[in-house]
Structure 1
């Protein structure tokens, strides 16, 4: 399984490490900033690093040749339709909510702000609209009383993302396809960035 990983920061590195531990081959890492810690981790592991020409979009030329699956991990760039078409299974991402609820950059913060007692994570197919692609798989967890967004992310949602990504890749390898269940737009809510008070 040849994977192109598009991402950044700590979650990008933890996904990169998980892929290596599971023996999934990372052919290339794509970052918006060549100094990012994910780029550093990839170079240390002798994995090719490509810096996006445009920080908002990933072009087809930036995906490694013969990629089976594109994975995004803490990337705010849209993977172009042309880029998705280069990969056998297209692309998937992890979103820390039960999509279609809390689409957007601040999903975990909105989970806390709305007082949700249940949170969760979704592996979804990358699509033109942010966080709106068909669902591959989901799982849920309880939110502890008084928990902050960061605590919820670190305790439950980040580990859940790693587990679900590994399961999705295993599924693609075993069955030669990924599940694809359209999101129900009737339940979609937005989770835009919250301004600091």
Structure 2
């Protein structure tokens, strides 16, 4: 199966290695050019270039830049909105990993809000990307308990990071074998929190979303859906 990977940092690089080890052909990668220190290449970009896989800068994936005959787009620690036209250019669509038990804690800082709200249980969800931020059908999901004294960093690195790789691997293998799991999210339980200290993500390809005017951001769309 031909997979395009959108992501960044250590999790993106780990997902890249996982996809290749599972027999997928990674036909392209989108990632930031540099790490946050501004001096070294982003880990996913570096992994792709070391393997000879084409790289493009985050934010530039569009239908016209998607490699031909891509079967599936996988988002792994990606903050890019992957538009409908781009998803329609694939065989199966696009899936992404979100470090929460969706529909709880939609938004870009799910782990931070999980700790801030003192949740006793956290989890991870692989879901089908859609026009609604973090609102697509669930493909795979599991939970973890939050230990006393858990921090944002420890919850992510020790629990939700490895869980995400397991869930992505399971979902990708299912799709490759023709098993398509789609469990709609229950909006009754949905919550959405704003980015902790970052600007809202912008959404390309809004011409296909007749109910949203050009320039509408993810945060505005989420607000319209109702914050709980």
**Normalization by structure 1: what TM-score?**
0.92
> Aligned equivalents of 1:24 and 1:157: distance in 2?
23
Q: Which of 128, 131, 135 is equivalent to 2:134?
A: 131
Q: Name stretches of at least 5 consecutive residues in structure 1 with no aligned partner.
A: none
Whether 2:52 is the aligned partner of 1:46: answer: yes
**4+ residue segments displaced more than 4 Å:** none
The Cα shift of 1:195 comes to 4.4
Contact 1:30-1:62 within 8 A present in 2 as well: no
Whether 2:53 is the aligned partner of 1:63: answer: no
In the TM superposition, 1:5-44 aligns within 5 A as 5-33=5-33, 35-44=41-50
The Cα shift of 1:11 comes to 1.2
The Cα shift of 1:10 comes to 1.6
The Cα shift of 1:95 comes to 0.2
Contact 1:4-1:26 within 8 A present in 2 as well: yes
Which structure features the higher share of strand residues?
1
Q: Name stretches of at least 5 consecutive residues in structure 2 with no aligned partner.
A: 35-40, 199-228
**Normalization by structure 2: what TM-score?**
0.80
Contact 1:120-1:141 within 8 A present in 2 as well: yes
Q: Work out the number of aligned pairs and report it.
A: 192
> Aligned equivalents of 1:178 and 1:149: distance in 2?
32
Q: Which of 161, 164, 169 is equivalent to 1:161?
A: 164
* CA root-mean-square deviation: 1.6
